[in-house]
Structure 1
Amino acid sequence: MVVNVYKHGEGKSFDDLKKQHPGYINDPFKTDGGSFLNSDDLDHTNLMVNDAQIEEFSIAIVEFWRKVPANIFASEVGSVSVRFEKAILKDRETNKGRGDEAAIANCSRTTTDGF
C-alpha cells in the first residue's frame, strides 16, 4: 500500500493508508494538543516512511522470498486466487507461441505491479 501511494499518489491506496495506517502520513502542523489541519487536508505528499519502517519492509520482503520455493509443479498447486488465475491466463494468451522466456519476463513484470 505504501509503495502504491508513493508511485501513484492520490487514490484508493492513499485513502486506505490514511485509515488503516495513519502513522505513515505526516501532519506538519501536529502538536501535542492536536492539529490545525483536518486529515482530509493531507495528501500523498505527506507520506513519510522512517528508517525503522524501511527496515520492517526489508525484513518482510526477505522473509517472503525465502518462503517461495525455487521450483513448483502444477500437481503441487491446490488452488490459486481468481486474480492470480486471470493474470496467468492473460500471460499465456499474450505470450502464445513466444516461448517460456517471454512468459516468464511478462509474468515478472505483472507480479511486481501488485501480486
Structure 2
Amino acid sequence: MRAKGNEGEELAANTLKQKGFSVLERNVRFSVGEIDIIAQKGTSLYFFEVKFRGQHALAGAIEVITHHQMKRIRRAASLYLMKYEKKKGEIPMAFLGVVAIDGQGNVEIIEDAFE
C-alpha cells in the first residue's frame, strides 16, 4: 500500500509543478502529524494532503479525511509556519489543500479544502 502512496505522491507533486507550484518539501513529519506536500505559489504556502482513491472516485476525497486528520494537518502546518517565520521573518498566506487521485491517474487539486 505504501508503494501506491509513494506513486500517488509523485504524481501529485508533478501535477502541482505543472500547475505553477514550487514543491518545497515532501513528507514533513512533526510529533503532531505529517504533511504530504508543502508547496509555494506566488507568495502563498500550501500544505497538501494527498488522497489516492479507487476507480473514478475523485469526488469524495475530502470526505474521507476525518476531523482528527484535519486537526493533525492543521497542527503540523502551524508548526511549519512557526519554523518558517523564524527563518524568513514573516508568515506567508497559507492554505490547506487536498490532491485527489483516482485509479485512472486523474488528478484534482483543491487548493483551500478545509475552510
* TM-score when normalising by structure 1: 0.29
Work out which of the two has the higher radius of gyration on C-alpha atoms and give 1 or 2: 1
Query: Higher RCO, 1 or 2 (CA under 8 Å, sep at least 6)?
Result: 2
Flag the structure with higher strand content. Answer: 2
